């Protein structure tokens, strides 16, 4: 849990620093540092869903089944 917390601090710090350097505004830097991780988390969720479908399709093909949905191999 400590590693996760420290990574979150690094993530917020980097997001703030980049936004601040680009905009010159502490307010904009802070807003982006707060919003970007939330959007990134949502994007990661959908990335994982797509990746699960790709893996299920590959597994189905390896087993000789063409349709992973028909075999119930999707998440």
pLDDT in tens, 11-56: 899 999 999 999 999 999 999 999 988 898 899 999 999 999 999 9
Q: What is the pLDDT of residue 67?
A: 58
The DSSP code sequence of 22-71 is HH--HHHHHHHHHHHHHHHHHHHHHHHHHHHHHHHHHHHHHTT-S-TTTT
What phi-psi label fits residue 6: left (phi over 0), alpha (psi between -120 and 50 degrees) or beta?
A: alpha
- With beta carbons less than 8 A apart as the criterion, state whether 17 and 28 touch: no
Q: Is the pLDDT of residue 74 over 70?
A: no
Q: Give domain limits for the chain.
A: 2-62
Q: What is the pLDDT of residue 26?
A: 96
Q: What is the pLDDT of residue 69?
A: 59
Q: What is the pLDDT of residue 75?
A: 56
Share above pLDDT 70 across residues of the chain, in percent, rounded to a whole number:
85
d(CA 55, CA 48): 10
Query: What is the number of residues in the chain?
Result: 75
């Amino acid at each position: 849990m400590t590693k996760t917390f420290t990574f979150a601090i690094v993530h917020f710090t980097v997001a703030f620093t980049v936004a601040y350097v680009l905009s010159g505004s502490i307010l904009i830097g802070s807003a982006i540092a707060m919003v970007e991780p939330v959007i990134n988390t949502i994007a990661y969720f959908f990335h994982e869903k797509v990746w699960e479908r790709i893996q299920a399709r590959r597994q189905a093909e390896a087993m000789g089944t063409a349709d992973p949905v028909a075999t119930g191999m999707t998440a």
